[in-house]
Amino acid sequence: MKKLTVQEADILAGKFRSQIGLNPNDPINIKTFIRKHQITAMYRPLSVNSYGISCKSNSGKMFVLINSNSTRGRQHFTFAHELYHLYFDKKPTPHMCGVVSTVEEKNADLFASSLLLPKEGVYAMISNEEILNHKISLATVLRIEQMFQVSRSTLLIRLKNIGIISETQLKELQSIPVKESAKEYGYDTSLYRSGNEGLFIGDFGEKARILFESERISEGHYMELLNMISDEREEN
């Protein structure tokens, strides 16, 4: 696909929400989504900057591997990014997301932030005064990121992309320590910490089970196994 604009990503994400029966502006509960759509998801420790991998079998079974070392907020983003590969990528081949920077990787990122942070839903949480002044308070930032369960950086980039904050305010807000600020405002900080290590949702037959049981295999080995799964497309 060609490089998407923010507006195009919003349209794709909006249509996707309606196709899967989600309200236009509500937060997405990722684990409910995984179960409802019979996706097989595994959470395993991967190296820094490796966020996830996904693939789809010929019969349409979907598999996603998420780095449990990344924060829960980042894991939600990774899952939404993988949904782009699974539903929109014309030539999906298993690859480690986060390591390479291609047009499809950028599109997947834009789609993920549109899907996780629907414009109208975000607007609804910001006061008219903040919208008109293009400046929002830290309290509002925290409320939105907690409501939509996204990382601070995902939210701030989205706010900049949809014209809510200026480049200057983006920099100001980026300089505030995330976990400390959440604690100060009385929020639970699990969103900003890693988690879900070892979690397995769904059933994708024997090969996924091999992945699941091989706790210490390398990322290269994951890739090999995923390629085996996608190769079955030819055999089936």
Residues that bind Zn ion (CB under 5 A): 97, 105, 108
Nearer to Zn ion by Cβ, of 108 and 173: the residue is 108
Residue in this structure with the two tokens 């409501």, named with its chain if needed: 147
The DSSP line for 28-95 is P-HHHHHHHTT-EEEEE---TT--EEEEE-TT--EEEEEETTSBHHHHHHHHHHHHHHHHT-SS----
- Beta bridge pairs of residue 97: 52, 100
Helix (H/G/I), strand (E/B), else coil: 160 = helix
Q: How far is the CB of 35 from Zn ion (least distance, A)?
A: 22
Q: How far is the CB of 113 from Zn ion (least distance, A)?
A: 13
Nearer to Zn ion by Cβ, of 111 and 204: the residue is 111
Nearer to Zn ion by Cβ, of 65 and 108: the residue is 108
Q: How far is the CB of 84 from Zn ion (least distance, A)?
A: 7
Nearer to Zn ion by Cβ, of 42 and 108: the residue is 108
In the complex, residue closest to Zn ion by CB: 97
Rounded to 10°, the helix 103-116/152-161 angle is 90
Nearer to Zn ion by Cβ, of 150 and 173: the residue is 150
Helix (H/G/I), strand (E/B), else coil: 204 = coil
Gap between the Cα atoms of 111 and 113, Å rounded: 6
Nearer to Zn ion by Cβ, of 92 and 195: the residue is 92
Q: Which helix (H) or strand (E) holds 201?
A: strand 200-201
Q: How far is the CB of 97 from Zn ion (least distance, A)?
A: 3
Backbone angles phi, psi at 20, to 5 degrees: -95, 10
Q: How far is the CB of 212 from Zn ion (least distance, A)?
A: 22
Q: How far is the CB of 172 from Zn ion (least distance, A)?
A: 30
Gap between the Cα atoms of 107 and 7, Å rounded: 12
